[in-house]
Amino acid sequence: MNNIDKPVVITGGAGFIGTNLAARLLEKGHRIIIVDNLSRSGSQRNLQWLFDKYSNLLQVNICDIRDSYKMSEIIKMAGTVFHFAAQVAVTKSVENPVEDFKVNVEGTLNILESIRRSDDPPFLVFTSTNKVYGKLSNVKLVEKGLRYHPVSDIYCNGINENTLLDFQSPYGCSKGSADQYILDYCRTYDVPASVFRMSCIYGPHQFGTEDQGWVAYFLFRIIQNLPITIYGDGKQVRDILYIDDLLEAFELVVKNKENCNGHAFTIGGGPSNSISILECIQLLQRHCAKFPPLSFAPWRNGDQYYYVSDTSKFNNLTGWKPSVDIESGISRLYEWVSAFISSEESSVVKEKTI
């Protein structure tokens, strides 16, 4: 970060992305303040891992971004803020839309208000989602093998920031609202910020669910020979981005904040890192040499059949391009997941032996 004298605040810092970013910045000597309520599975493990390696530069606040007073006090100390804390599951947003709104919208407003009132406002980087573009029903598709392909060449480079916003599901509405609030605070109050509308991110310290973090989720299931449910026909396509490439993008957006301020960017692996659900499962099965049973369930409401990021806008401003291809990224994730499962099994054996 540009100002190494002031700490970097990471909300949701014990989550998958937050843990990886914190570790990268701590390795470079930055002081980090993590804000997390530890509600997500695996967050306590991630936090312990960070403490074991970097406790001298790490401060942790176990609190909720909906606590406006605490957030105000924390933001006062920040040189840069990465806002990752969120309710991230579409299914949970449908079950409890009020909770989803309070976390994703009200929590974000607390952060924005704290920055707006600051004498020295820190630069804010917010992780939004491709769900702000809705189902993308206007993108006509054709089936080819195990995946869908766009009929028009216009979409072969991916979906860009000029695509019409179309919030669907309570989750899409709440994340989209936060996305738009941040861009409007840039215009109205000169709050310095950029928004990343991200596709699927994967890598170490991701535990994953059927809803979110599905690459890691599938890998955990396959290694443990557990059945997998596919929603839809499995031919839906996403571009996946390895975590190290995302971390590089985070550093570049801060380095180029004068040019990136006030902008939203689609961020993902792009066309060269696109893969269907079925293709991904086959790739993971090859790595694991295991073939657990697959079953199919109805499509989820609003699910995109095809989403690939066009990252040319961010590339033009910063020079960023993904460098880790799918094969390399999956191999790295496989090594981490295998080691994690082995360590967990060893711990269980030790506990039973004592």
- For the chain, domain boundaries: 8-298+306-346
Summary mean pLDDT of the chain: 94
Is residue 324 scored above 50 in pLDDT?
yes
In CATH, which superfamily holds the domain spanning 8-298+306-346?
NAD(P)-binding Rossmann-like Domain (3.40.50.720)
Closest CA to 317 of 247, 230, 257: 257
CA 52 distance to own-chain centroid: 24
Q: pLDDT value at position 210?
A: 79
Closest CA to 236 of 109, 296, 146, 170: 146
Whole-angstrom Cα distance, residue 302 to residue 23?
A: 35
**pLDDT tens per residue across span 269-290:** 999 999 999 999 999 999 999 9
**pLDDT tens per residue across span 171-197:** 999 999 999 999 999 999 999 999 999
Q: pLDDT value at position 352?
A: 38
Is residue 233 scored above 60 in pLDDT?
yes
**pLDDT tens per residue across span 99-153:** 999 999 999 999 999 999 999 999 999 999 999 999 999 999 999 999 999 998 8
Residue at 260: amino acid letter: C
Q: Which residue has the tokens 């499995």?
A: 234
Which residues are designated catalytic?
171
- In sequence order, what are the residues at sequence separation of 6 or more whose Cβ sits closer than 8 angstroms to the Cβ of residue 133? 159, 163, 164, 165, 166, 197, 304, 307
Is residue 40 scored above 90 in pLDDT?
no
pTM of the model: 0.94
